[in-house]
Amino acid sequence: MRPLISTTDLAAALAGPAGDRPVVLDVRWRLAGPPGAESYQEGHVPGAVFADLDRVLAGEPGEGGRHPLPDPEDLQRDLRAAGIRTATPVVAYDDADGSVAARAWWLLRWAGHNEVAVLDGGYAAWTAEGHPVSTEEVHPEPGDITVRPGAMPVLDADEAAALARDGLLLDARAAARYAGETEPVDPRAGHIPGAVNAPFAGHTGADGRWHAPAELAERFASLGLRPGEPVGAYCGSGVTASSVVLALELAGHPGAGLYAGSWSHWSRDPQRPAATGTLPG
């Protein structure tokens, strides 16, 4: 399954035979609210199941960062509750820039489930094109998915530091946070020394749709990525960096590593250095 699916293709899939329909995950989430669950109740793609970023797509915040990877057993329970079966295609959407949907895409891939895609343009594109919405509460039959973690590469702090030195480590945060000019959430400002700033907002257009693969490939080349070079990504808490991994796959660079703890993990350790300014350092 390709990483992206169009609204037209999703509508056709949902209109197909019941046994062939994908499970649709509504993963709308906003740092400052309102809660995504409220938006889901007001209207969602028909048949979609709500999956909360903080409860389903991440573990408890703490030493591992603000959005650490969930415990595999907990993730398996929640994915089964959403009706996901071993061979079931899954489509995730949000209503912003696609980054939370990309986290769902990455997490399912990490769990060993390859049949997953992000809805291009998200909920905004779905409604703008006149596709139906529903307020009906969904109670799917339990699935049987088995979570087998490790199918996508995960970086720890030491590996991220080494990649920033010996390969290409992309920092998905906005330029001001990368430069250390502001830090509204985490303990310290700055970035991992050697990391290159690649704000996740550059992957999508004003309408929330992802840029074409050739355009993404050109962007990553301009950031210094060479063919075959090891590459990885981090952000504030490991969510928006997932969109970098997805964008890299679209651009022809699959298998990028994700520093899941990201800056929220790195900045907790006062022994780890922090670079500031617009240059990698």
Q: Report, as residue numbers or ranges, the catalytic residues.
A: 235
State residue 240 phi and psi, 5-degree precision: -65, -25
Q: Taking CA 229 as the corner, what is the angle to CA 171 and CA 165, rounded to the nearest 5 degrees?
A: 55
Alpha-carbon distance 274 to 281, whole Å? 9
Q: Taking CA 163 as the corner, what is the angle to CA 201 and CA 176, rounded to the nearest 5 degrees?
A: 35
Helices marked H in the chain = 7-14, 36-42, 72-81, 99-110, 122-128, 157-166, 175-179, 213-222, 240-250, 262-266
- Pick the closest to residue 110 from 145, 155, 79, 147 (CA basis): 147
The CA-to-CA distance between both ends of the chain, in Å, stands at 39
